Structure 1
Amino acid sequence: MGAIVEDSLDSLLAGDLSDFTQKRAAILEPAYKSYLISTDFRQDSPLPSSIYLLPSSEVVVLISRCPETEAATDLYITKLSDTFAENFIGYCPEEKCVVFKGERGLIDDFIDFIESVAGEKEVTVVMKAPEQIRIPLGGLEQGLEYEEFVARVEILECALWIGNSPSEQEEGGIRFTRVATDPKLPEPVTSDRMPTPEYASGASSPLSDAPPSPLIHTPSSPLSEPPSDIDEISLNNWDVLDASSSSSSEGVETPPSRREWE
């Protein structure tokens, strides 16, 4: 089972995730070493990845919890009609949570979007990193830095609950869907897949990846087979939230959530 973390979004962004980071690095660093000595590269540069919005009927979320503590011990997110699908978001009405499953390089914009949708509501997060990497369809080009490599090959699963009560969480899911499908936001979300390691304030991003250690030995590569393509509804650009959407939640301020990166 991959590494898993559960906390409020604020605590996750500001807290110490050293154990989660170390478990991820144990998978990612050997894979990057294998990539560096590989000779099988694609010759062209791929287009940026995109995030797609799934209808709720296609979103499947399974969460395992410890009977004693209720802490999350496993998370499984998939598309009902295509278990190999990735780079999607959606809302699960059964669990009353918003979900993300996709490349590491796409999740920061997704979290920014959730912060804008949530406003002042507390957001609880369960995030799971994979047991192995996956090579994107078409392969990788030569010369990627470690963080660029991680942004492309690590598929994260993330479930978020907006608010504390079931009614708040359901309202949060409805608002998420309304804003994500707003026709006034016509541009699809894409990413150059390059996560930036630090916030402008100087605090480290909880998902930033330290450069690989030169002391780590290189085992056999954990590369996995590429998944199938996705053909779904494109999510609208979440960098700009229309004023009419934010004003629909009375008394809730929706501050700009786009972080400044160094």
Structure 2
Amino acid sequence: MSEFTVITESLVDVLISSNITSFTSEKRFDKSLTVGDLKLKLELITGGSAGNMKITVHDKDNKVVCDLDNDAALLGSYHIDNGSRLHVEDNSRIAGEFENVAAVDKFELTKDEYAKKTGTVQDYLKKNKLGKYNAEEMEALAKAKEEQEKEEENMISTKGIAIGARCQVSVTGLNKRGTVRYVGKTDFQPGWWVGIQYDEPVGKNDGSVKGKRYFECAMKYGGFVRPNTVDIGDYPEEVLDLSDGEM
């Protein structure tokens, strides 16, 4: 029998380690591969060079079994079992050189460079005049926003919404009473908003949103609503009857 003949199962599952990388991978190889062909595959796994590789076979107890020292020999002609470890040594490489991402030059484009490239999302939007690259659409959106803000401003004036006024807020079918503490625009959303200090802890904040304070009140007593949900009038604070009916 030739020393290059495959003498066991056709496939073998092995672990791959190297002096180049810190990780170990598990791979399956055909035992009919020559050692030379195996080295070419190990180039992709370890980053080593096939011409400089020295491959040592270790058993499951980490004992050295043999060296794959003949590029023309078949992998199956060596004593390699499932679970064996092939350790690759390539002294022409620096340990960890492929794992140090800090050493890799980053590819970055400036906004101008990106704008000049074709085949990008931005290029597609420009060519098809979509989104912000559709002048008519953007103009219509801006006009609609301006008209909505004017409508809200007029509503505030018409309803008499002013700081200190008593009010009732109708949101999602619930009526909540309180006092107006803020009227105007905000940083958290466009348009006009009314800040309410509720009589009960039915709000969402303490008069501040995203770190900016618009008025002062206890936590959960504050909230911001659109003008169309606010009605101004004689809304006295409701007193909850907690008695059990006994005298």
TM-score by length of 2: 0.18
The structure with the largest strand share of the pair is 2
Larger radius of gyration: 2
